[in-house]
């Protein structure tokens, strides 16, 4: 059976797609989808950086440097964001698939196809964030899909706020979809799978929250 | 997943997002905001001039009226005509001298008579003195023409005779004194009449031009307009308070194509005249003394009124100015035509034009500097947020925060505001306060503005700096 790789269908019709994926021996549009998602990722990150999202750290220099110097810094920032747009799908698609492949077995291609679904959820979140952040004048910590706002009402601790700010509905959905698909793709006990997925997401969460909390300028 | 399960998840999501939105958008929200700012600007150091535009008409600085005094006699002849340029001392008109001449003749007759009497008394005295010294019993009876002076010389005994003679001499001396006094008085009268005769020609006390002669002897018989001219301009009641003596004025005449500099010399705070329309605000005028010709500069056009509001008001003033022109005593319109004619001639010979004096009745455009602030922080009105009586701008701090900053404004004109307090030059503020809404000091982000690669700026940075910004983009979320 040939599976037509379509991550959007994977999000919208998970039951049918999971069955198809489980029985599939061959895959069409596999490489195309990977390429497409890489390009889409880079595009989203570049657009978001061009619009200034994430440039808070640069703002503090605005009053002391010329407009041209600021533009130059933003352009360097944009290069960094472009690399991030390249790095994130690498990690989320291949890195994660490799992690599952290493620890809980399964067919690597199938794992990649699952990760394409998870990554598309991630990308949808990123795309939604662009107008949302600009229109509501918010950043990651006050993301309305995250626990960040509630955290700010409960505590003043920046660390906690950043941690809860990174815990969004989309990330939870990513976790649920990962578990839902993997439960049929890999043949391990459900508890083991849950622990494996849980540990990975916890690592991601900690890393992303840490990155959101620290300022690179601190190291220079 | 069963259907109700889907609905449950959807409900939870909507509820979660909804409550987050509420917590975010409610007043005094604790949620941090990151404001997206597109346009910001450095505060300029500059000048703000508050200008007032109006129109005016040149008129003589002073008008001297010459009056006819019928006590001095009737009019003999007028020595000037309308339009003549006169100087201080130029004869204007003369009175008829006949009456005074007659008076002078009378007085001179009186003078002659008095002189005659005087002579006879002198004669008498000398003859009496002769009697006294010789003592000869010479019966002499001298009778002067005058009845009052009667000297009878009786020579009986020399002693008595001598006494009588001495008495008579004394009497004659007294009489002589009286006559002398009368003579001096008469002389004075004559000289006064002579003075009056000389004064029959009325001379101009000022330099100027005869603008009006009333040949029918209505007062004033003549009006002399001074050569020095001022510009009388009209302002609305709203604006008159801003005009003060000493303010500099830039004047330009569309006809002469020249600009002049002047100063406000007088503000007339009495309304110009009754308005037919009672609802209309009264207008006031002020006088501008032209100091010198200003050099033509390119900025002239820049300072012309641009905003519609200003143009409208100046148009209104123009109309009012026209109305008041109509009421002028001398023919402004005629002079205007004259000016136009001369201007058309001048256009053919533009080189001659330069030194031509400003004609009376020339319509002038005025630009009054009612307030001026130099070398001061200047911000645009768009940046200013008004909250009650207080004014704020959104200012960027060097910590990457945008916050409300209270400012005190000084001179304000056409969107340019002098900042007295609250900001300094090179502070960074948000260009348009409407573009953002800020509840508390917030982080802010700015979009990339250029598409051209800033190679020059890259070269200025060290490699570690460059790495820093790339890593920021790569790792910061």
Largest CA distance in chain B: 181
Q: How sure is the predictor about B293, in pLDDT bands with cuts at 50, 70 and 90?
A: low
B250 - beta bridge partners? B261, B367
User: Residue ranges of the domains in chain B?
Assistant: 51-60+234-371, 63-94+200-223, 98-198
Please identify among residues 92-131 of chain A the ones whose CB lies closer than 8 Å to any CB of chain B: none
Of B17, B30, B437, the CB nearest to A144: B17
Q: Among candidates B265, B229, B234, B226, which has minimal Cα distance to B249?
A: B265
**Contact across the interface for A78 and B473, Cβ inside 8 Å:** yes
Q: How sure is the predictor about A44, in pLDDT bands with cuts at 50, 70 and 90?
A: very high
3-state SS class at B16: helix
d(C-alpha B213, C-alpha B81), whole Å: 7
- Render pLDDT for A19-33 as a digit per residue (tens, 0 to 9): 999 999 899 999 999
pLDDT at residue B348 above 70?
Answer: no
- Render pLDDT for B163-182 as a digit per residue (tens, 0 to 9): 788 888 888 888 888 888 98
Alpha-carbon torsion angle A48, A52, A54, A57, nearest 10: 160
Do B51-60+234-371 and B63-94+200-223 come out as alike in CATH topology?
no
| pTM of the predicted protein model | 0.67
**Residue B423 DSSP one-character state:** -
Q: How sure is the predictor about A161, in pLDDT bands with cuts at 50, 70 and 90?
A: very high
Give ipTM to 2 decimals: 0.92
* Low-confidence winner among B26-40, B94-108, B281-295, B412-426 (lowest mean pLDDT): B281-295
Q: Return the pLDDT at B135.
A: 54
The C-alpha of B299 sits at a distance from chain A's nearest C-alpha, in angstroms, of: 28
- Render pLDDT for A163-195 as a digit per residue (tens, 0 to 9): 999 999 999 999 999 999 999 888 889 999 999
d(C-alpha B115, C-alpha B180), whole Å: 9
Q: What is the mean pLDDT of residues B448-458?
A: 87
Find out whether the peptide bond into A112 is cis, omega within 30 degrees of 0: no
Q: How sure is the predictor about B201, in pLDDT bands with cuts at 50, 70 and 90?
A: confident
Span B63-94+200-223: which CATH code? 2.40.50
pLDDT at residue B342 above 60?
Answer: no
Q: What is the mean pLDDT of residues A134-155?
A: 92
pLDDT at residue B147 above 60?
Answer: no
The C-alpha of A93 sits at a distance from chain B's nearest C-alpha, in angstroms, of: 18
Kindly state whether A145 is in contact with chain B, defined as any CB-CB distance less than 8 angstroms. yes
pLDDT at residue B340 above 50?
Answer: no
CA angle B410, B416, B417 (to 5 degrees): 20
Best of A144, A170, A175 to substitute, by most chain B Cβ atoms within 10 angstroms, is A144
* Low-confidence winner among A80-84, B207-211, B279-283 (lowest mean pLDDT): B279-283
**Contact across the interface for A75 and B436, Cβ inside 8 Å:** no
Would you say domain B51-60+234-371 falls under CATH 3.40.50.300? no
pLDDT at residue A122 above 90?
Answer: yes
Other beta carbons within 10 angstroms of residue B476's beta carbon come to 23
Q: Return the pLDDT at B248.
A: 86
User: Which residues fall within 8 angstroms of residue A154, CB to CB, at 6 or more apart?
Assistant: none
Q: Return the pLDDT at A157.
A: 92
Of B40, B454, B474, the CB nearest to A72: B454
- Render pLDDT for B40-77 as a digit per residue (tens, 0 to 9): 889 888 888 888 888 888 888 888 888 888 777 778 88
d(C-alpha B397, C-alpha A192), whole Å: 52
Higher pLDDT, B7 or B142: B7
């Amino acid at each position: 059976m040939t599976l037509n790789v379509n991550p959007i269908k994977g999000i919208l019709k998970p039951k049918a797609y999971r069955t198809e994926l489980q029985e599939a021996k061959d895959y069409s549009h596999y490489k195309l989808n990977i390429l497409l998602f890489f390009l889409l990722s880079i595009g989203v990150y570049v657009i978001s950086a061009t619009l200034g999202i994430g440039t808070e750290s640069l703002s503090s220099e605005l009053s002391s440097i010329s407009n041209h110097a600021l533009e130059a810094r933003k352009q360097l920032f944009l290069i960094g964001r472009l690399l991030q747009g390249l790095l994130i799908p690498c990690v989320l698609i291949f890195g994660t698939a490799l992690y599952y492949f290493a620890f809980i077995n399964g067919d690597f291609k199938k794992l990649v196809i699952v990760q394409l679904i998870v990554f598309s959820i991630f990308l949808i979140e990123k795309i939604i964030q662009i107008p949302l952040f600009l229109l509501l004048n918010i950043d990651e910590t006050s993301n309305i899909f995250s626990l960040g706002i509630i955290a700010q009402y409960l505590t003043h601790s920046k660390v906690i706020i950043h941690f809860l700010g990174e815990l969004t509905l989309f990330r939870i959905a990513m976790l649920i979809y990962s578990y839902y698909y993997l439960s049929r793709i890999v043949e391990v006990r459900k508890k083991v799978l849950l622990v494996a997925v849980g540990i990975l997401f916890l690592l991601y969460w900690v890393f992303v929250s840490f990155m959101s909390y620290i300022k690179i300028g601190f190291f220079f | 997943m069963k259907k109700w399960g889907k609905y449950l998840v959807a409900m939870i999501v909507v509820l979660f997002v909804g409550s987050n939105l509420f917590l975010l958008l409610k007043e005094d929200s604790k949620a941090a905001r990151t404001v997206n700012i597109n346009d910001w600007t450095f505060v300029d150091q500059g000048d703000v001039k508050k200008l007032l535009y109006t129109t005016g008409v040149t008129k003589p600085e002073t008008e001297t009226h010459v009056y006819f005094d019928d006590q001095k006699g009737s009019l003999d002849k007028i020595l000037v005509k309308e339009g003549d340029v006169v100087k201080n001392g130029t004869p204007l008109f003369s009175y008829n001298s006949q009456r005074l001449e007659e008076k002078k003749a009378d007085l001179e007759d009186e003078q002659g008579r008095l002189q005659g009497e005087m002579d006879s008394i002198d004669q008498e005295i000398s003859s009496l003195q002769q009697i006294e010294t010789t003592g000869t019993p010479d019966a002499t009876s001298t009778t002067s023409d005058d009845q009052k002076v009667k000297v009878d010389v009786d020579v009986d005994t020399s002693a008595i005779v001598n006494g009588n003679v001495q008495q008579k001499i004394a009497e004659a001396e007294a009489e002589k004194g009286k006559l002398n006094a009368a003579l001096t008085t008469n002389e004075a009268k004559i000289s006064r009449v002579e003075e009056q005769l000389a004064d029959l020609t009325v001379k101009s006390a000022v330099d100027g031009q005869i603008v009006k002669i009333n040949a029918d002897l209505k007062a004033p018989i003549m009006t002399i307009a001074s050569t020095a001219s001022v510009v009388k301009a009209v302002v609305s009641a709203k604006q008159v308070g801003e005009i003060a003596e000493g303010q500099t004025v830039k004047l330009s005449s569309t006809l002469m194509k020249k600009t002049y500099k002047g100063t406000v010399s007088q503000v007339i705070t009495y309304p110009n005249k009754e308005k037919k329309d009672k609802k209309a605000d009264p207008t006031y005028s002020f006088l501008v003394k032209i100091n010198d010709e200003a050099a033509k500069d390119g900025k002239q056009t820049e300072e012309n009124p641009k905003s519609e509001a200003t143009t409208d008001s100046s148009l209104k003033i123009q109309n009012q100015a026209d109305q008041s022109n109509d009421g002028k005593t001398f023919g402004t319109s005629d002079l205007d035509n004259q000016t136009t004619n001369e201007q058309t001639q001048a256009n053919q010979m533009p080189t001659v034009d330069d030194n031509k004096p400003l004609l009376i009745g020339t319509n002038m455009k005025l630009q009054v500097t009612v307030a001026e602030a130099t070398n001061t922080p200047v911000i645009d009105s768009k940046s200013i947020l008004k909250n009650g009586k207080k004014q704020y701008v959104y200012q960027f701090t060097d910590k990457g925060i945008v916050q409300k900053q209270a400012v005190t404004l000084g001179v304000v004109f056409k969107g340019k505001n002098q900042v007295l307090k609250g900001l300094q030059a090179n502070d960074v503020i948000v260009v348009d306060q409407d573009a953002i809404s800020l509840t508390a000091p917030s982080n802010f982000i700015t979009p990339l503005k250029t598409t051209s690669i800033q190679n020059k700026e890259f070269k200025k940075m060290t490699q570690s700096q460059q790495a820093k910004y790339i890593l920021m983009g790569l790792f910061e979320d």
